[in-house]
Amino acid sequence: MDETVRWVKEHPGMTGILALYALFFLILYSDPATGDALLVNPETMFQEPWTLITVIFATGSVMHLLLNGFLVIMFGGKLEKTIGTGTSVVLFLIMGLMGSVALFLYAPFMTWTGEPAALASVAAIGMASIYTGLVKDAEIMGSKARRWVLIMFIMNIVLSWQNEELTLLGPAHGLAIALGYGIGYGLRKSTEAKEHTGS
């Protein structure tokens, strides 16, 4: 319990994200009509601009909730400690917004059923990739962080191929992995350049 309390105090940004995950999950499954208003629909997202933000915290199932929570705790917590609460939360939101805009651009060319989508995993995956690119040789649970990201990339391809519902989200996940790593790598190189100049 003490470890949990300390983690919460040290990671206010990630704690807030986890709390919103839980709140939106309860809304989605206790009041489906209200829950649908939190999800993003590529055809109406700009008529319902709030969904560009709310969908970032909307999880589609218990497994979805647990996986995203794992990424926020294990990667997001380390990212927050590394670059600060404000910056880490802003980057999380940027990755989520990127997912919504990407979905808007490519959904018409795919077998989209017209149902609104939950995109919480895009922001969580993107944040994990940012940390991986930012911290060279970072480890998560005793394994290189980049291996976790590689596994996520492979799983995204496999699941998108096997599951029609996930096919629509596959490109957004892949973009989050690539763009997130690029952002993290860019931040690392920028920091290294500043340190070199300062020395």
Letter for the amino acid at 145?
Answer: A
The pLDDT of residue 111: 67
CB 102 within 8 A of CB 50: no
pLDDT of residue 74: 93
* pLDDT reported for residue 198: 63
Tell me, what's the pLDDT at 105?
Answer: 83
59-68 contacts at long range (C-beta below 8 A, 24 or more positions apart): 59/21, 59/24, 59/25, 59/28, 59/118, 59/120, 59/121, 60/118, 60/120, 64/118, 64/120, 64/121, 65/21, 65/22, 65/25, 67/121, 67/124, 68/21, 68/120, 68/121, 68/124
Give residue 166's pLDDT.
Answer: 67
Which residue is listed with tokens 């609104």? 116
Residues with Cβ within 8 Å of 112's Cβ and at least 6 positions away in sequence, in order, are 42, 168
What is the residue whose two structure tokens read 């300062």?
198
CB 77 within 8 A of CB 138: no
The CA R_g of the chain, rounded to the nearest whole Å, is 17
Report the DSSP pairing between strands 143-144 and 139-140.
Answer: antiparallel
**Chunked in runs of 10, what are the mean pLDDT values of the chain (199 residues)?**
90 97 92 84 82 89 91 95 96 93 81 75 94 90 86 82 72 91 94 76
CA separation for the pair 59, 62 (Å, rounded): 8
Length of the chain: 199
All domains of the chain in start order, with CATH: 2-198 (1.20.1540)
At 114, give phi and psi (nearest 5°).
Answer: 95, -5
- Taking the C-alpha atoms of residue 40 and residue 56, their distance in angstroms, rounded to an integer, is 9
